[in-house]
């Protein structure tokens, strides 16, 4: 899909109607009938909300990666080197450094996203090294954070933290780990 998208002049992963158009073209190329179905407004709304959340989280992760590469990330990069992670490993793992939550909120607003916890504005992660967590398709689900100090934070925050965003799926009868914003520590 990425190859075909680039041939058509696109960049990044196809989303929404671009994704459907590429899958339709691949089906035509393979001589397979593309299944047509009408989606309800509710299903479309959930899909759009999920795509917006993922895009907002990607925006946050990219900003965290930039922050780690900046002058402000010097101490965090030293911490990671002490832990055996060279610059290549840091890049390959997608590690970052969480900037101020105010900066994240401004970034999300400027990009047209909501600015709440569900979109990645987690104040409890400020100054934490971030570790992205992706699903099997590479979609961003959440972020783990590790405080890059030898001592626990003085403000009472734990050294390791995990935050999850609420899944915009329709309400389910049983609760899952993605149903509500959580702050788990270890």
**124 and 53 within one domain:** yes
SS3 170: coil
**153 and 66 within one domain:** yes
**73 and 13 within one domain:** no
Domain residues for the domain of 76 are 41-185
Report the pLDDT value the prediction gives residue 179, as an integer from 0 to 100: 35
SS3 58: helix
**168 and 138 within one domain:** yes
**71 and 46 within one domain:** yes
Write the CB contacts of 91 (distance below 8 Å, at least 6 apart in sequence).
none
**24 and 57 within one domain:** no
Report the pLDDT value the prediction gives residue 162, as an integer from 0 to 100: 73
How many domains in the chain? Answer: 2
Tens-place pLDDT, residues 23-39? 888 888 889 998 888 87
Rounded mean pLDDT, 35-46: 84
């Amino acid at each position: 899909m990425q190859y075909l998208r680039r041939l058509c002049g696109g960049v990044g992963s196809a989303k929404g109607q671009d994704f459907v158009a590429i899958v339709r073209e691949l089906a035509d190329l393979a001589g397979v009938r593309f299944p047509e179905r009408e989606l309800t407004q509710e299903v479309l709304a959930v899909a759009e909300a999920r795509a917006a959340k993922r895009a907002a989280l990607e925006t946050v992760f990219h900003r965290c990666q930039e922050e780690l590469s900046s002058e402000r990330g010097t101490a965090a990069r030293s911490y990671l080197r002490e832990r055996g992670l060279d610059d290549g490993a840091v890049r390959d793992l997608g590690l970052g450094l969480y900037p101020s939550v105010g900066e994240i909120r401004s970034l999300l607003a400027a990009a047209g996203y909501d600015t709440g916890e569900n979109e990645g504005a987690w104040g409890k992660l400020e100054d934490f090294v971030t570790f992205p967590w992706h699903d099997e398709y590479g979609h961003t689900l959440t972020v783990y954070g590790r405080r890059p100090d030898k001592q626990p934070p003085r403000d009472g925050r734990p050294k390791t933290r995990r935050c999850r965003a609420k899944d915009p799926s329709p309400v389910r009868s049983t609760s899952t780990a993605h149903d509500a914003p959580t702050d788990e520590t270890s």
